[in-house]
Amino acid sequence: MDGAHDMGGLKGFGAVKPEPNEPLFHAAWERRAFALTLAMARPGGWTIDMARYARENRSPRDYLSKSYYEIWLAGLEQLMSERGLVTADEIAAGRPLHPAKAVPVLRADEVAAMLQRGAPTLRDAPRPARFAIGARVRAKTIATAGHTRLPRYVRGHLGVIWCVHGCHVFADANARGIEDPQWLYTVSFDGSELWGAEAEPDTKISVEAWESYLEPAS
């Protein structure tokens, strides 16, 4: 969706400061939040794009006031609440208050295999690809209240097809529980096209874009 999470190319947030030798988790509760999100996807039955939408679908004040894993935890609470796996009073209390439902369990010895396997998104192509490598395209100017993987800073700008990845589950529809496979491309944009004369010389930005995000440059 178009929200506070889509910060790419925006000014006013200060410089990006990488953390040398950054750990996977900065606190024990972050590791637990990640584990809970992973484990509850099995009984919850949501997709990765449903989970992304649950994290980004909140007000700017709420989103920007939370750390990374606080956002994950808030998204998990929403997903579980929607499916009746937890109640509002249990979230407020921070502990079970009602009889637990019988749900599939992700055991500790299953985690590594699950993470390695992932959830493959490649599908058979329902139609030929519209664009070929080297084609000039324009990212469409769209506005959506739903989930999308097209960042605002490339919308309306010209780019070139750099790679054709095959047909993959369309994230925007997958967030609503619909697969709708589409061709997926890597599109390369010149920095000067996105940010004009302020861009660093020879900057190029690559974005993975589904076919419905794009139109011929002409």
pLDDT of 101 = 83
Q: Which residues have C-beta within 8 Å of that of residue 67, sequence separation ≥ 6? A: none
Residue at 4 is within a domain? no
Q: How confident is the model at residue 118 (pLDDT cuts 50, 70, 90)?
A: confident
pLDDT of 77 = 96
Q: Which residues have C-beta within 8 Å of that of residue 112, sequence separation ≥ 6? A: none
Residue at 165 is within a domain? yes
Number of domains composing the chain: 2
The average confidence (pLDDT) of the chain is: 93
Helices 48-56 and 68-82 sit at what angle, rounded to 10 degrees?
110
Same domain, 141 and 156: yes
The answer to whether 31 and 39 have CB atoms below 8 angstroms apart is no
Same domain, 35 and 105: yes
Same domain, 43 and 83: yes
Residue at 139 is within a domain? yes
Token match 């024990």: residue? 28
Judge whether residue 42 has pLDDT over 80: yes
Same domain, 107 and 147: no
- Min mean pLDDT across 33-47, 73-87, 138-152 is at 33-47
Boundary-marking domain end, from 52, 86, 117: 117
Average pLDDT over residues 20-45: 92
Same domain, 70 and 50: yes
- Min mean pLDDT across 82-96, 105-119, 123-137 is at 105-119
Beta-sheet pairing, 182-190 with 158-168:
antiparallel
What CA–CA distances, in Å, run from 154 to 8, 116, 142, 144, 146? 9, 32, 11, 15, 18
Average pLDDT over residues 102-127: 88
Same domain, 155 and 126: yes
Domain extent at residue 80: 28-117
Boundary-marking domain end, from 82, 117, 152: 117
Read off the pLDDT of residues 64-107 as tens digits, 9 standing for 90 and up: 999 999 999 999 999 999 999 999 999 999 999 999 888 888 88
pLDDT of 119 = 83
User: Which pTM does this prediction carry?
Assistant: 0.88
Boundary-marking domain end, from 72, 94, 117: 117
Instruction: State what percent of residues in the chain have pLDDT above 90.
Output: 76
Please give the backbone phi and psi of residue 100, each rounded to the nearest 5 degrees, phi first. -75, 145
pLDDT of 7 = 86
Q: Which CATH number do you get for residue 104?
A: 1.10.472.20
pLDDT of 44 = 86
Same domain, 101 and 138: no
Same domain, 143 and 102: no
Same domain, 101 and 165: no
Please give the backbone phi and psi of residue 73, each rounded to the nearest 5 degrees, phi first. -65, -40
Judge whether residue 1 has pLDDT over 80: no
